[in-house]
Every structure is written in C-alpha cells, then in structure tokens.
Structure 1
Amino acid sequence: MGTWHLEVMKMALYMTFPVGLFYYFNRPEIFEEHVTKKRREIMPLPNIEAMEYYKKAIEEARKRKEVKWEDELAKLDNK
C-alpha cells in the first residue's frame, strides 16, 4: 500500500486526465479544417442559378394549382 501522497497523486491524475482530454479535443482550431472539408464534400455549396430556376418552377406550379382550385370553386359556386 502507498501513503497518502500516492493517493493524492492518483486522484489528481484521475481528475486532470479527462479534463485535459476534453480541453484538447474540444478546441475548434484542431479539427475545423477537416470538418469543413468533409462538409463541402457531402453538401456542396448550392448553385445560385439552379436555385433560382427551382424557385421559379415551384412558384409556377403553385400558381397553376391555385388557378385549378379557383376554377373548381367557381364550378361549385355555380351549381
């Protein structure tokens, strides 16, 4: 068995080791470049022209659907 000095040293190690690892691995400058690169591979930046085309197409589809609903409501009102 060790003396109380050994127990204090062990307790200090048990407490500082996880805290030190937490501090080291939670600093963004360590992994920021890797994460940003992987994110760009998985989700590339959107193409602005394509996004505008899709927005216009969605808006046109909504307008056609609204016109169709209005025609159907007008038919129901006339009956």
Structure 2
Amino acid sequence: MESDDDDDDDDDDDKNNGDHTMMLYLSFPVAMFWISNQAEYFEEYVVKRKREIYPPEDDYQRKELEDFKERMRKKREERLLQMAKE
C-alpha cells in the first residue's frame, strides 16, 4: 500500500509544478505591461534612445537635404520632358 501513497505525492508535485508554470505564464506579460507603462522608464530609456538614434537636426543638414531634394526633382522633370519630346 505504501506505493500508492508515493504515487499520490508525485501527482501533487506535478500539479504544483503546473500551477507554478501557469503563474509564470500569466505574470510575465502583466509584469512587462506594468514596466513598459511606467513614465520614469519611458522618460529615461525610450526618449534617450530616440535621441541617440535620431539626433536633433542642425540647419546645415536640413539645407543640404532640401538642396538634394531640389536637384533630384529637377533631374526627374528634365528626364520626363525628354521622354515627352521623344
């Protein structure tokens, strides 16, 4: 009869292990959601990271970009005019 009692203990261990696994599965997304919604975290990490990736533009870079766009637009117009003449 002693072997039957051991089987019951194994079943209880499996059930508790399953409960812990389910608790982990449910608590992980909740914890991630809670952390990501903390304003301090957002300010420190996300804003700082965004500034690293996209540094503030200076006037020289903006002017260079506008000049480049204008040159490309003129080339395209000239190419379209040549195609229309042919």
What TM-score results when the alignment is normalised by the length of structure 2? 0.47
What TM-score results when the alignment is normalised by the length of structure 1? 0.50
